[in-house]
A and B are shown apart, each in its own frame.
Chain A
């Protein structure tokens, strides 16, 4: 019994006890919920960087290591600049493609054979800037935000190509810049391209329309130290806490909202028909939004039997022919003058 209760009317005494129980329950549940969600958020925003084992040299290509800052927050990003190789063997940097990797990987990205893909682009006369986004590979550790913060890295790559130290001075600066992204890299590239008109053509492979539904489905499957599997009810609060504590705004990772502003620049959307991770509905939403403006130039390719981010691995040459053909048509022919030889 609370102090002085005996002097109070019975109704008020009962009310006090009920309110005490309510306060206790609300306090314990709320503080517990926020505490656990904050811990999940701390796990959510971090992925251990994966090691890079191979370089373009292992595929017989010349390349230069490059370092450049992200736009706005100036984090140090590291990557490779791989000159394109023309049919006569001459090297060129006239048309450059920024290649953007997915989550939990790096510029080599073994899982989706990204290094092999960049090598193929280079062999078809397209220079490639393949770099590690923040928190990945050899770039500066930083929170993962599934595109919201990472788009600054893509914008930094564009700035580097336009005004940074030229990696191979004999080749000069690119006259045209395109972008190719896979999975989170594709979503990030879409967000960046919507803000940066210097990205003249975009290939988006396996992008999500928005990331929150994906996280709400996938995070409970993950195990987190101490608590094991994350109960689904903690995910919304963990996403909010990621923003509050680390500035990682997953709710803003919504390429579907800005993809229309890429028009009239050409856009190539690729998606695997057997993609169970980023369901085909994401492709449909992105395609509908991208094609909405009257000036839109959207090309699509739904790849039969391809699972998430496996279209290149599955189709190989066909993928290269389609992507190179798209860039050739979008960026124009190579205009470089004779320079360095391969």
Chain B
């Protein structure tokens, strides 16, 4: 049960990533009806707000999980969370420059 709770930040990161993509797609779909000149800033604003909310949630959940972490397994699960968090950075920088 403890391991499951320690994995909560990782689950939250993955769920939030999926939710953010869904929200961005919905924002694009809705704002596109008003034309691209509206869609362009609207999608960015929704996305950036979503990023901020996601960052806050992940920080809160991770802090709580870190406080409860009392075994190396739970610490490794948090390391995995950090890797998941850094994955956008790692994946895109790995492609630069393009092949």
Q: What mask results when residues 26 to 45 of chain A are scored 1 for a CB within 8 Å of chain B, else 0?
A: 11011101110111001001
Kindly supply a per-residue 1/0 record for chain A positions 223-243, scoring 1 wherever the CB is within 8 Å of any chain B CB and 0 otherwise. 000000000110111001000
Total A-B residue pairs with C-beta atoms closer than 8 Å? 116
Q: Do the beta carbons of B97 and A30 come within 8 Å of each other? A: no
Classify the interface of chain A: helix, strand, loop or mixed.
helix
- Asked if B51 contacts A35 (CB within 8 A), the reply is yes
Contact B96 A23 (CB under 8 A): no
User: A20 and B24: CB pair below 8 A?
Assistant: no
Which one of B9, B82, B83, B96 contacts A233 once the chains associate, using CB atoms below 8 Å? B96
CB atoms of A34 and B88 under 8 A apart: yes
Indicate if A298 sits at the interface (CB-CB under 8 A).
no
Contact pick for B67, options A3, A15, A29, A213, CB 8 Å: A3
Complex interface residues of chain B between 67 and 81 (CB less than 8 A to chain A): 67, 69-72, 75, 78-79, 81
CB contact under 8 A between A141 and B92, given known A4-B67, A16-B75, A27-B85: no
B residues 11-39 near A (Cβ < 8 Å) are 21, 24, 28, 35-37, 39
Residue from A4, A33, A35, A246 in contact with B28 in the complex, judged by beta carbons closer than 8 Å:
A246
Q: Which of A15, A26, A29 contacts B72 (CB 8 A)?
A: A15
- Name the interface size band of chain B: 35 or more
Residues of chain B having any CB pair with chain A under 8 Å: 9, 21, 24, 28, 35-37, 39-41, 43-44, 47-48, 51, 54-55, 58-59, 62, 66-67, 69-72, 75, 78-79, 81-83, 85-89, 92-93, 95-98
Q: Give residues in A with beta carbon < 8 Å to B.
A: 2-4, 8, 12, 15-16, 19-20, 22-23, 25-27, 29-31, 33-35, 37-39, 42, 45-46, 135, 140-143, 212-213, 216, 232-233, 235-237, 240, 244-247
